[in-house]
Amino acid sequence: MLRFVLREAFGGLRRNLTMTVAMVITTAISLALLATGVLITTMTSETKEIYLDRIEVMVQLDDQTSTTDTDCSGAECSAIKQKLDDDDNVETVTFRNKDQSYQRFVDLFQDSDPQLVQQTSQDAFPAALHVRLADPLDTSAIDNIRDMPGVATVVDQGDDLRGATKNLDGIRNASFILAAVQAVAAVFLIMNMVQIAASQRRQEVGIMRMVGASRWYTQLPFILEAAVAALVGSVVAVGALFAGKSFLLDHALRSLYDAHLIARINVGDVWLVAPFVVIAGVVVAAVTAEVTLRWYVKDQR
């Protein structure tokens, strides 16, 4: 029985070679795009984690508050700080007066750019509240205090992160949309391939059913034919992912990786998504073939 099923399945693939190749290519492209979207989703999440410990929002106070309030005990500064402390998305709030803000600037730049430090007046820096958010992409806590008395400007380092993740999300969404379009094309190719194969072997299947062969026994070669073609396409997709990572992605993003600006896609990430790519391709092909055969049999009655 197994020998017959395998012989019929691989024989069908050879008879419809052109359509088989088209199905393999379409399936490979669809699954590769789907996997790319998943990998970009992972990259976006890990990129966000990289910046969690770096990003803060600086709420700069106006000149009057900066000059008169050295410990945030004044009405305006304390009201701002209290509102931030009460927000669940705020992890920490640190106050720095004018002198402390200048000293922090000196500590940061005295080694890398001493001339800049010499040319900068000590009065150039206002007092400020330095805010760490639990989610740097959620600025609702900052939006609530922007118009409060005493607030001069808000410097949000998370703007760059939001821009980067927005771009990554756009690429991810495009990958998923293209994957869906390619998946529809692959499904139609599977349906056509199965219908052509069933039509070519219609008399043979009819005779087998007359002598007592079960429906599954006669339909299994067609299902296996579609599953094998999808399996080949899935393997091609996984190979394309590894090749794309090694020869394209790693070279294109090396500087960003080295500067820790975005999370790195590792070989392990590809290996993690590879089994799901293969399983998805084979299952979709098998289910599509089974449904197509049911419709085809009904139409022939």
For residue range 42-54, list pLDDT tens digits in order. Answer: 888 887 777 766 7
String of b and e for 231-254 (b: at least 16 CB within 10 Å)? bbbbbbbbebbeebbeeebeeebe
For residue range 208-257, list pLDDT tens digits in order. Answer: 555 444 555 556 777 888 888 889 999 999 999 999 999 988 888 888 78
Within 13 A of 157's CA, how many CA atoms are on the CB side? 14
Domain 56-156, CATH class in plain words = alpha beta
Comparing 204 with 125, which gets the higher pLDDT? 125
Q: What is the mean pLDDT of residues 177-184?
A: 88
For residue range 6-16, list pLDDT tens digits in order. Answer: 555 555 556 66
Q: Which pLDDT belongs to residue 5?
A: 47
Q: Which pLDDT belongs to residue 53?
A: 65
Instruction: Label each residue of 219-267 as H, E or C.
Output: HHHHHHHHHHHHHHHHHHHHHHHHHHHHHHHHHHCHHHHHCCCCCCCCH
The least confident of 94-108, 199-213, 287-301 is 199-213
Q: Which pLDDT belongs to residue 275?
A: 94
Backbone angles phi and psi of 213, in degrees to 5 = -70, 140
Q: Which percentage of the chain shows pLDDT scores above 90?
A: 26
The least confident of 104-113, 178-187, 217-226 is 217-226
How much is the pTM? 0.67
Domain ranges of the chain: 2-51+162-300, 56-156
